[in-house]
Structure 1
């Protein structure tokens, strides 16, 4: 596989709302450039409704062997000028016969419409 792609991990900061709850604050997000990725199309769907049509596009992301970028399920990924949500948990693949990380994989998607 080719691991020549780069994306930006966007992680929300936090703030306290009027009720005293800690909530995500995307206006103070932390950004981290992540390289050595392989990003491939995974899914496309379109839902036609009375009010609007929604298109959802998903990509499977895999890191290079021996890498474990700091990406979590609550993060967003900026890639090719678009913002994607991490869809589900990030899978950590172990190295054979050890506890070391071989690579990570996750799905990211974007809905428009």
Structure 2
């Protein structure tokens, strides 16, 4: 998939006695005309790191037609 708009969405760090958990998330918006071939739970490799699609993928329809204008979703990576 090309022509993505990827923006920081979530950065969380939790520290306890046994570990430090870090969750990093990004909101992704596709280019116009992108087919909705991504599903909740899919894994995506970006910049050498593996992320998981978090939640359902939003499908934005083209005005006055049955085609897809673009899709939006959140991808997250958890470590620790």
TM-score of the two chains, using structure 2 as the length reference: 0.93
Greater strand content:
1
Residues 36-85 of structure 1: per-residue CA shift (max 9 Å, x gap):
21111111011111100101000001110121251111210100000001
Does 1:79 find its partner at 2:46? yes
Instruction: Note if 1:108 corresponds to 2:75.
Output: yes
* 1:49 and 2:13 are equivalent in the alignment: no
Q: What runs of 5+ residues in structure 2 fail to find an aligned partner?
A: none
Higher RCO (C-alpha 8 Å, min separation 6): 2
Bigger CA radius of gyration: 1
The root-mean-square deviation of aligned C-alpha atoms, in Å, is 1.0
Distance across 2 between alignment mates of 1:81 and 1:103: 25
**Contact 1:58 1:107 (8 Å CA) reproduced:** yes
Q: Secondary structure at the match of 2:40?
A: coil
Contact 1:44 1:56 in 2 (8 A): yes
Aligned length: 80
Q: Is the 8 A contact 2:58 2:73 kept in 1?
A: yes
Provide the residue aligned with 2:37 in structure 1: 70
Which portions of structure 1, spanning 4 or more consecutive aligned residues, are displaced by more than 3 angstroms? none
Residue 36, structure 1, aligned to residue 3, structure 2 = yes
